[in-house]
Structure formats: C-alpha cells, structure tokens
Amino acid sequence: MHALLRSRPAAGPDSRYTEVRQQTEALCAPLETDDYQVQSVIDTSPPKWHLAHVTWFFETFLLKPFLEGYRPLDARYERIFNSYYNAIGPFHPRAQRHTLSRPTVDEVYAYRKHVDAHMAELAAGCASAQRMTMERRLTLGLNHEQQHQELLLMDVKRNFFANPLFPAYSEARNSRSAGAPPVRWLDFEGGIREIGHGESSFCFDNEQPRHKVFLRDYRLASRPVTNGEYLEFVEGGGYTRPEVWLSDGWSTIQERAWTAPLYWTRIDDEWHEMTLSGMRPLDGATPVCHLSYYEADAYARWRSARLPTEPEWEAATSGESLSGNFVESRLYHPRPAQGRDDAQWFGDVWEWTSSSYSPYPGYRPVEGALGEYNGKFMANQYVLRGGCCATPLAHMRPTYRNFFYPHDRWPFTGLRLASDS
C-alpha cells in the first residue's frame, strides 16, 4: 500500500496516480509512432512531449526536492521538458518542440516508468513533516496531467487536420442526429451572489478566493449554439459584416482569411467538419465548436444577444449536476442536446464568457516556482467555462476557470447566448 494512501479510502492518491498515468497512455494507444512527433502549429505540442512533460512535473516538483538520492534518468530532460517555469531554469522553445526526435518514443515511455517507480519509492518513505506539501503537489501533478490529456487530444486533432489525408484517431461512435431541441431563454434573478471555490477539496489557485459579485437579472440560452444555427451566420454573410465584429476580431478574420470555424471545410459543395474520427459531413444539431472569442462574440451580436459573463455562468450552474459528454464517453466530439431539458452546462464544448481572465479579489498565487502555473497568464485572455468532450470528468468543477487568447480556436470552444432580462 502506498504510504500517501494509508489514511485514505481505496480511491485515494495511490490509485488516482496509477489511474491518471494509465489514462494518459491509454489515450495514446491509437497513435502510430510517427504521430508522436508532429507539431503542426506553434499552439500544439507533439504527443511525445506531452507524455514527457507531465512526467517532468512529478520529477521536478516531487522527486528532486523530496526523494533523497534521486538520480534523474537523464539530467538534460530538465530543460527540454520544462514548459514555461522560469524559476526552474531555461527551457527549449515551444515552437521547437517538434525538433526533439530524441529521446525516442520508447525512451520517453522508459522515462515515465523511471519516474513512476521512484514516485512509489517516495510515497513509501514519505516523512510526515513533508506529507502535506507532497500531497498538495501530487494532487496538482495529477490535475496537471489531466489538463494535458485534453491538450493531447486537441493537439492530435489539429495535427491530423493539417494532414490532407485527415486521419481518424478513433472510430466514429455517434451516428448523425435527428436535430437539436429548440433553444429557449432561462431566466436568472440578479442580486448578490458568491462565486469561486470555497470548499476544502482541490482547486487551482485561480478559483479562489470565493467572493461576492453583483448581478443584474439576466437570461442564458437553454443549450449551446449549434452548427446549424452558426451556419446561418456563415451563409448569411456574418464574416463580411464589420458592424458585428470587435475591431481586433475584424482585423483577425481579414488577416487570417477566416470565413468559418476552424475545422469547417467545403467538400463537393457540402460543409464538412474535421473530427477526431476524420472529416465528416457537418451535423447541424451538434454544438458549434472551434470558434475564437471573436467569432463567438460576433455571432452573439448578430443574434442581438451577447456572451455570458463568468459570474453569470457560475451563478447559473452552481447547483447543476456535473454530468455530461466528457472524455469518458469516448465520443471525442460534442453531441446534440439530449432533449429539451439537457442544458449541456458541462462537457461537450467550452463556453466563451465575456470576462477577462484576471485575478479574483484577494487572489494569491502559490509560493515558489509553482506560482507560475496560473497567475502569470492573467493578461489578454478570456475565461471559458464548463469543460468539453475531451476533458476528464474528474477534472471538472463548477468553479473551474479555463482561459485562452481571443484568437485561439483549436481547443473545443463554443458558446451559449446570453441577454439582459
């Protein structure tokens, strides 16, 4: 029995560690060796790099400081698998991760084994004085690896889209749907509400402190916007009407010649959409996905609506069940609302909010190098809520704050309309 686990029930850190580590490798099972090295654009990382980097995290923040006599498998990995932690030292440039043909895929799996074996050793010899810090870092490391599981799928999709063969990561498991239920407005009463994580369970530092916000009465759509609805915007000239776009958004779509969501493509005069099951005919009933903030915002304005704010979204969903289409469903794609009352708050697509990713009042980053995890990214990004079809369910919370730059659209990003009451 893992020492970190002794005072915990069977589903404690030991089984969690094994489960999360195995899940990462299971997600890689459909990949061919050649797929592990591809980095099609600067946003993505090669799958091999993800596998090694999440391992580096445990080595850097647990084994090196806490396991006496620990010897790295290769000391040079400290640099090449560091993502952005300046306090740890210099790192290999993000855009050059595809140049790392060595270590090989086999060597990276050996690195994982090496670290796993020493993590077990560390747990067995864990001194009580260090126990709390180690437990916190272990939990953070596991949540970090779950984040990378989603990134891995996002990146594989982007990489496969860059290949004119449009390879499939998995067989399609969802058949073409009949249609989405009609969208309705759900009314929410304003007033003073509380948002942020206030429990003793794990959260990222950016979800705290819990604090009061003031909301006016507002309305949110009963489900996310679908492909069919967004197609009306595309075919109705939405990308040619500057009046519905933010200035930066208009510049972006001109410069990048965007005329539709990232993975939409016309083939034989029909709209298709790249999925993790290859290129498929566009399904009008599924939530629209792979939109930038600019596109989400323009669509909302075109519909005489707006994006929800982050506090509106959290206040509306705080009592809702976390069930939804997460990675465990193995669809790897959003699915249509399953009836009138399926609001799809969680899973399917991350929902853009109009809130900047900024610190909550009283926010304090974690001490030391791990303070670089979240806080230093709080500029020029927007918050997204709810998780997606590539997110592990166990990784999600109603208070979870994801964030991306407004031009990013390779994550599973969609939107839900909001309006004032």
Cβ distance to Fe ion smaller for residue 49 or 160: 49
Q: Does 149 bind Fe ion (CB under 5 A)?
A: no
332 close to 153: Cβ distance less than 8 angstroms: yes
Query: Could you tell me which stretch among 75-83, 101-109, 350-358, 383-391 binds Fe ion (CB under 5 A)?
Result: 75-83
Cβ-closest position to Fe ion: 83
The least CB distance from residue 50 to Fe ion, in Å, is 8
The least CB distance from residue 94 to Fe ion, in Å, is 11
Q: Residues of 321-353 as b/e, b for ≥16 C-beta within 10 angstroms?
A: ebebbbbebebbbbbbbeeeebbbbbbbbbbbb
Cβ distance to Fe ion smaller for residue 83 or 344: 83
Cβ distance to Fe ion smaller for residue 40 or 83: 83
How many Å apart are CA 348 and CA 225, to the nearest integer? 11
The least CB distance from residue 373 to Fe ion, in Å, is 8
Query: Could you tell me which stretch among 77-85, 153-161, 175-183, 306-314 binds Fe ion (CB under 5 A)?
Result: 77-85
Structure tokens at 287: 């939530």
The least CB distance from residue 85 to Fe ion, in Å, is 9
Structure tokens at 96: 């050059």
Cβ distance to Fe ion smaller for residue 53 or 197: 53
Pairing of strands 270-275, 413-414: unpaired
The least CB distance from residue 84 to Fe ion, in Å, is 8
155 close to 411: Cβ distance less than 8 angstroms: no
Among 83, 159, 252, 353, binds Fe ion (CB under 5 A): 83
The least CB distance from residue 353 to Fe ion, in Å, is 23
219 close to 188: Cβ distance less than 8 angstroms: yes
Query: Could you tell me which stretch among 76-84, 177-185, 280-288, 343-351 binds Fe ion (CB under 5 A)?
Result: 76-84
How many residues of this chain interact with Fe ion, rule: CB under 5 A? 1
The least CB distance from residue 309 to Fe ion, in Å, is 28
Give the three-class secondary structure for 279: strand
DSSP assignment of 190-242 equals -EEEEES--SSS---GGG-S-EEEEE--EEEESSPPBHHHHHHHHHTTGGG-G
230 close to 285: Cβ distance less than 8 angstroms: no
Cβ distance to Fe ion smaller for residue 81 or 218: 81
Helix ranges (DSSP H) in 71-220? 77-80, 105-124, 128-161
How many Å apart are CA 73 and CA 76, to the nearest integer? 9
How many Å apart are CA 322 and CA 30, to the nearest integer? 28
Structure tokens at 7: 């005072």
Site string for Fe ion, 209-248 (x = CB under 5 A): ----------------------------------------
The least CB distance from residue 13 to Fe ion, in Å, is 19
Cβ distance to Fe ion smaller for residue 83 or 174: 83
Cβ distance to Fe ion smaller for residue 109 or 377: 377
Query: Could you tell me which stretch among 83-91, 163-171, 173-181, 330-338 binds Fe ion (CB under 5 A)?
Result: 83-91
Rg (CA), the chain: 22
Helix H or strand E segment including 352: strand 350-356
Cβ distance to Fe ion smaller for residue 58 or 245: 58
The least CB distance from residue 148 to Fe ion, in Å, is 6
Cβ distance to Fe ion smaller for residue 78 or 232: 78
Query: Could you tell me which stretch among 28-36, 78-86, 295-303, 368-376 binds Fe ion (CB under 5 A)?
Result: 78-86
Interface positions with Fe ion (CB under 5 A):
83
